[in-house]
Structure 1
């Protein structure tokens, strides 16, 4: 870690996304080596603190943050669970791999490091279910063919299948409500069927299961056609079935069923382009998205178990952040880990990322933090002198930036804290206001009409109110004769008036309250 730390600085070095990958793919696996044996030690406070410091160093290097930045805030920004939590996650994953391979021989099941078995069943219930894995199966010969036609072959006129062939379309899907389904459609007879696979089956399992159901149908086995073609839009499923080696029980069962069918008929697997208007494939896709009937008993895939373990670690990160009583300034902006925001931060340049992390955590070159470090004498804001120079004061309260704040966020003052999300007016949080800033800039062309010397009449006011209610409210203020100079700047007012009004003399639309 120290060698990697030497190749980056606050504003130079490898990109943040590259450093994040290096840590998660190279450094962290070395730290978690042998986790199955020593995982009980992470419950000790001293060991947990050492692990926190061990992860804090790469987090500082990735973000380019100040050394005083709390590790807990950096872990939330990067979406990295505490290292003590990740060690337990890896210990559970190692136990499940050994158990499924038949090598778990712990005599004392609930003592010492063997207690990970009980913890895995309690923390991640899915781990106790039957796994879709078997011993390596080797099949060197197969009696059916697998083809991957090009897009041009599917688009050519006429049917690409020989006359007198039975063409079957299969598809699998996983809907937004996290339920999987499979569908099959026989083009010649019009027979169709959908299957419900529950909430644990993956899309890959659904695709293979659909092909298996076609191979086991009696009307397919006893059909009069001499050739049978099964079309699927999943290359992964077709390549897994055609592979000579597999460890999946479902893939082995599907391969055996296809081999049995191929001994009776000439059969082939064909890949079809998905969602390109092919009628049979579209019908199978509709059936897969509307599953019906009881759920079959499918083994849990290894990917589903690993995903459940990662979600468990991610939930522990969320809980630890909510229970964290420190990081007061970071809690003003960070409400928990967010993968989309983490990806956005890692795509920033090092200088921009350094500034963003400083604003979000409060550990930046503002007066309050420098005062705590003994560098500045006063923690007060140098612009207004009314409050401590912190990011929340700069973004939400400093009267010197009221006009700019109103232009960007839509309100001249914003309130908020740990127990109350920072709000613009009553119902709009800071992040939502930032997303709306671009839309407000597009409306700026109408607002600029207020900066000219011309006066609006009643018809112009009505037209602007219909186009933009906010502009209409400001126009009403102008017509009422509020003081405003020719260039749209605030009227001369004293400092006490700005403090009392709270919006630097800027007229606010009626629906925005500060």
Structure 2
């Protein structure tokens, strides 16, 4: 990530400052650092008095400076320098549209891009933004969860539907219901499950009084469910997926609706 500022007086470029930020920093931090560095330069050159205008294409930075509840480090640094400068000069800020042909702004953009790629340029700022830390913590949590999930000795059936934690988190189309939970876990009104707890006298399905009434049997083999299964089967085949498909395939967006109809 890079940033830059350009000092222009009477259409003459006096100074160009460019800086490299740590790759974990955000674009907003880069925009804020550019203004902070421009103000630092202005403060160190006391021959500049009177009125100074700083133009930026970052509306977010300008809004953040106006927000009294915003106390981000770079925003506070900008405010501190402005307080010291107010005795010497009047600093005004203006927003300019990005890539609109304004010479100083276009040059600053080019210098910022060059700075981000210049590995010989030392890192000027490396404080991580909250967005990065939240993303890092989330990814770390999901990674740990993934390891626990894949290494668990329980939940074998559910893992066939959800092999990956990260993939499950992306499945925003899935609405969990009572019946769906029973099928995904294998814990519900199925003879093979109830038989384990002596609730029913036999694990066999009523379709043939022989096959164990498990999730797999209900999904693929039970002849009592053949009429309901046919619509699901037809939809699966039209998706160029063989029958029977992997259990996780049934949870894909294009099949999930048909799957829930079958369950109900």
**2:66 matches 1:231:** no
| Matches for 1:98-177 after TM superposition, within 5 Å | none
Residue of structure 2 in register with 1:408 after alignment: 235
**2:83 matches 1:253:** no
For 2:70 and 2:58, locate their aligned partners in 1 and report how far apart those are by CA, in whole Å: 20
Q: TM-score, normalised by structure 1?
A: 0.37
For 2:86 and 2:57, locate their aligned partners in 1 and report how far apart those are by CA, in whole Å: 17
Deviation (angstroms), 1:363 = 2.1
For 1:199 and 1:278, locate their aligned partners in 2 and report how far apart those are by CA, in whole Å: 27
Residue of structure 2 in register with 1:325 after alignment: 153
For 1:200 and 1:212, locate their aligned partners in 2 and report how far apart those are by CA, in whole Å: 19
Deviation (angstroms), 1:412 = 5.7
Deviation (angstroms), 1:212 = 1.3
Equivalent pair of 2:22/2:125 in contact (CA under 8 Å): no
The Cα offsets for residues 289-331 of structure 1, whole Å up to 9 and x where unpaired, read as: 7723333243345664455445433332222112210112111
Deviation (angstroms), 1:194 = 5.9
**2:47 matches 1:200:** no
**2:126 matches 1:298:** yes
Equivalent pair of 2:51/2:90 in contact (CA under 8 Å): yes
**2:207 matches 1:377:** no
Deviation (angstroms), 1:247 = 5.6
Equivalent pair of 1:182/1:207 in contact (CA under 8 Å): yes
Q: TM-score, normalised by structure 2?
A: 0.64
Which of 253, 259, 262 in structure 2 is aligned with 1:435? Answer: 253
The Cα offsets for residues 338-377 of structure 1, whole Å up to 9 and x where unpaired, read as: 4333x545xx4xxx52233223222233333333343333
* Structure 1 unaligned spans of 5+: 1-179, 417-421, 424-428, 439-514
RMSD of equivalent CA atoms: 4.4
For 1:211 and 1:309, locate their aligned partners in 2 and report how far apart those are by CA, in whole Å: 30
For 2:210 and 2:50, locate their aligned partners in 1 and report how far apart those are by CA, in whole Å: 87
| 264 and 363 in structure 1: CA distance in 2 versus 1, 3 angstrom threshold | same
> What is the count of residue pairs matched by the alignment?
238
The Cα offsets for residues 160-186 of structure 1, whole Å up to 9 and x where unpaired, read as: xxxxxxxxxxxxxxxxxxxx4445567
Equivalent pair of 1:202/1:301 in contact (CA under 8 Å): yes
| Matches for 1:351-390 after TM superposition, within 5 Å | 353-383=177-207, 387-390=211-214
For 1:437 and 1:358, locate their aligned partners in 2 and report how far apart those are by CA, in whole Å: 19
